[in-house]
Amino acid sequence: MSTTFSTTTNTSQSSTPNRRGVNGLVHHTYKEVALQLKEDIDGKHSSTVPFLDFVHHVWGLDPELAQKINDRQWKLLPEKLSEYANTKYEPDLYGPFAAMAKALIDEVEKVFGKASEEAKDTSLYFWNHLGLRSLKTSATRRKPDMLAIDTIFSSLCPIWLFVRQVLEFKRTYDSNSKTGDTPKTSTSSFAAASTSSAGTRSSSRASNGFAIPGLPASAFASGSGIPLRADTRFTSPSATPTAAEFDRSQITKPSPASSHKRKSTHSHAIRKSKRARNDAPQSPVIQKVKADALQLAVYAIDCLNASTRHFATGILIDRYEVSLWYYDRACIIRSEEFYFDSDPNKLAIMLYAMSNCTAKQAGFDPHLSLPVDLPERPRKLPDFWQDVIDATFSFPSATFPQNASKSKTTVSSLDLRILETIFSYRGLIGRGTMVYRVARIFKGVESEEHEALKTSWPLCSRHLEATTISTLVEKIPEWKDHLPEVIASATLTAEELELPRVELLKVCSIERFEDRWLHMLLMKLYGKLWTVGSVEAFQDVFVDCVECHYHGYTTGRILHRDLSENNLMFKKSSDGGVKGILNDWDMASKVDETDQVESSTAQHRTGTLPFMARDLLIDGNPPPHLYRHDLESFFYILIWAALRYDFKSGTRLATPECIQKWESSMEDAYNAKNTMIASQDRFKLILSHVQPQSRDQLVPWIKSVRQLFRRGTFAEGDQLEWDRKTLGGCVTFEKFMEALGRERRQLKTLQVDSTL
């Protein structure tokens, strides 16, 4: 682990794919998310891993215990298996499977007990509501088939924060399967599955005692943090009977699925053989996630984005075929499949592992501890709502500065109470950024001063945000008041976090795998741009950020590359005014001596769609990211603010139709921005939507800055010699400042090229 803390009071990633990504979507309907997700995970999906490796490295099941479970003959409830086999409609699969699963867990635990002390507090419950009950977030409404949760939540409609595993069912009926065959249990083949295992992942309880399953049931009784309202209750099914001896002759042959259901005409053996032939030549392999598994991945997004969770797992059940799935911010890994009707022993092992894994082995963040009483959800969920309010985040052990005298104290960890979710990532593979408003807790006393906690998963190959900010503070000290103040930072590798992928990647391949690590920042808390208080204050903040960005580029030799309305922030100054803060440097890149972005990231498309430069929205590989592209982003932020910000109330208004295409798709955004710059009529339409309170001050700015880009767009013509970096000298920092009617502030120690 690498941990860094500031020693003075004022000291303060990734190869982004050439597409927008799920996180950049405006609407997160299943259709839109699934369509984009297919691109996001392309090349990030593994070949299959052995079943035993999966349950061992993910859920922490000891291989010797798994072998002991396999050495016995486990039976499924015959009447429930018969009911399951005769089912024609997918929702009717849920009840019989849940009953079989619960009975099987009880039987295995009756023989072997619980796997750990923490597991003794866990009793798995298979929640389903026949696909009729939605799990809601501020961005999504999902209807998962089945969720594995702790029994203490069985009387509530679950929230994603508590989901241990997701189960997705498909209704394929295999007409050639021999349901009367004796279940197959091969000890030798089972043992062989573990030969590729390497290392043992710790299954001990997290040092801070974090355990979602350990929450007392009383915390959810009437009058607690989550009241048992009529709209959140449902009737629990009756207790599952204990397992009986399994007589295959009692099972009647199921009738074929209805005509509108998907059918299979191959036996298990044929399907396995065909899959083996398809997979065999590929090494390394670029796996494609099929539509069946895509839905499971969508639910994994909701699990991961409910908190600072490290990974999520799911089970795909295609009638009898079962495969296990692992999801984190870097990759997707799946197990080899098995058929639970002919191999109930593997089902017993899987269910026991699911039921007995610790909270950490279920993917929950051991740094996060939930309160006994969770907050009641607002009727209308705010943007980026997470059910982690009042949770405690334990920042890793290190030395903290204490006061202006620069004295230090060493603590085992710093406890932070989460007060608000400022931002939450909405994708799967990627940075997974979460930002919270927090208060420090020291000896049980909560600080009145609030700060910002940011967690993310940047690529290991990229410069860390804390390092970038530190470099800028060192190189442009005169502008440190306009850079975010970093109080503490910490970095944990996948190995230090004991992520399952570390061991699983030793037995499978992912062609385009890029490793990511966890980066944590504790920073000063700054104000959002639309809450600055007045148009005049907005103008001051905007100019501060433009200038800080320029000096960071010319003297700091770092280009921001991801400017958006969320990155231009402010703080109150001692004279009662405001100072602009240019925040979020996690996508920044170093600049070489020729003013080019370093080659490793030069052609990686970065940015937030509504504010991205037109050049970066083209199909295929984008051109190198230039300084003028960031100036163009400033221009779009200016228009966005003029049309959407109500400075008097400190709120953002709905996006006017005239600029809605900016956040639709890359093609739509490119066309809309191009038309605005080229067409006077379109530009006038946009100006007509400027807020009355901003019209006098911001319309002149918008007109002048637009003219820079308009001239630059049409100035090239047939010229043989053309400066692409500045569009023929039309778009430079000096020209931009002139358009704003502001003079550049000179820095005593800096000499820069004014033609940039």
Q: Any residues with CB less than 8 A from the CB of 299 and at least 6 apart, and which?
A: 142, 144, 166, 168, 314
Rg (CA), the chain: 28
Mean pLDDT on 645-660: 96
Q: Per-residue confidence at 1, pLDDT binned at 50, 70, 90?
A: low
- Distance from C-alpha of 642 to C-alpha of 698, rounded to nearest angstrom: 7
Q: Per-residue confidence at 599, pLDDT binned at 50, 70, 90?
A: low
Rounded to 5°, angle at Cα 276 from 55 and 334 = 30
The residue among 428, 625, 380, 561 whose CA lies nearest residue 23 is 428
Q: Per-residue confidence at 183, pLDDT binned at 50, 70, 90?
A: very low
% of residues, the chain, pLDDT over 90 = 57
Confidence at residue 720, expressed as pLDDT on a 0 to 100 scale: 60
Confidence at residue 293, expressed as pLDDT on a 0 to 100 scale: 83
Confidence at residue 26, expressed as pLDDT on a 0 to 100 scale: 67
Q: What is the mean pLDDT of the chain?
A: 80
Residue pair 253/179 in contact (Cβ under 8 Å)? The answer is yes
DSSP character string of 230-276: GGG--PPPPPPPPP----GGGPPPPPPPPTTS-EE-S-HHHHHHHHH
Q: Is the pTM of this model over 0.85?
A: no
pLDDT tens per residue, range 424-443:
988 889 999 999 999 999 88
Q: 281-307 burial by CB neighbour count: b if 16+ within 10 A, else e?
A: eeeebebebeebbbbbbbbbbbbbbbb
Confidence at residue 2, expressed as pLDDT on a 0 to 100 scale: 56
% of residues, the chain, pLDDT over 70 = 75
Q: Per-residue confidence at 194, pLDDT binned at 50, 70, 90?
A: very low
Q: Which amino acid is at 458?
A: P
pLDDT tens per residue, range 323-332:
999 999 999 9
pLDDT tens per residue, range 708-751:
999 998 887 666 677 889 999 999 999 999 999 998 886 655 44
Domains of the chain: 32-194+232-356 (no CATH), 527-756 (1.10.510.10)
The residue among 530, 526, 543 whose CA lies nearest residue 644 is 530
The residue among 327, 299, 323 whose CA lies nearest residue 313 is 327
Instruction: Judge whether residue 247 has pLDDT over 70.
Output: no
Mean pLDDT on 411-417: 82
pLDDT greater at residue 494 or residue 116: 494
Confidence at residue 576, expressed as pLDDT on a 0 to 100 scale: 87
Residue pair 597/625 in contact (Cβ under 8 Å)? The answer is yes
Q: Residue 56: how many CB atoms within 10 A of its CB?
A: 26
pLDDT tens per residue, range 446-489:
999 999 999 999 999 999 999 999 999 999 999 999 999 999 99
- Distance from C-alpha of 480 to C-alpha of 465, rounded to nearest angstrom: 15
DSSP character string of 78-91: HHHHHHHHT--STH
Instruction: Judge whether residue 397 has pLDDT over 70.
Output: no
* Least confident segment among 187-201, 244-258, 564-578, 592-606: 244-258
pLDDT greater at residue 712 or residue 4: 712
* Least confident segment among 59-73, 401-415, 607-621, 646-660: 401-415
Question: What are phi and psi for residue 164, nearest 5 degrees?
Answer: -85, -50
Most confident of 157-161, 564-568, 603-607: 564-568
pLDDT tens per residue, range 23-67:
766 666 767 777 777 777 788 888 899 999 999 999 999 999 999
Confidence at residue 747, expressed as pLDDT on a 0 to 100 scale: 61
Confidence at residue 153, expressed as pLDDT on a 0 to 100 scale: 79
Question: 414-424 and 434-442 as β-strands: parallel, antiparallel, unpaired?
Answer: antiparallel
* Least confident segment among 251-260, 398-407, 581-590: 251-260
Mean pLDDT on 286-292: 58
Confidence at residue 600, expressed as pLDDT on a 0 to 100 scale: 53
Residue pair 325/293 in contact (Cβ under 8 Å)? The answer is yes
* Least confident segment among 8-22, 499-513, 685-699: 8-22
The residue among 154, 344, 169 whose CA lies nearest residue 244 is 344
pLDDT greater at residue 173 or residue 92: 92
What are the structure tokens assigned to 79, written together?
A: 């009447």
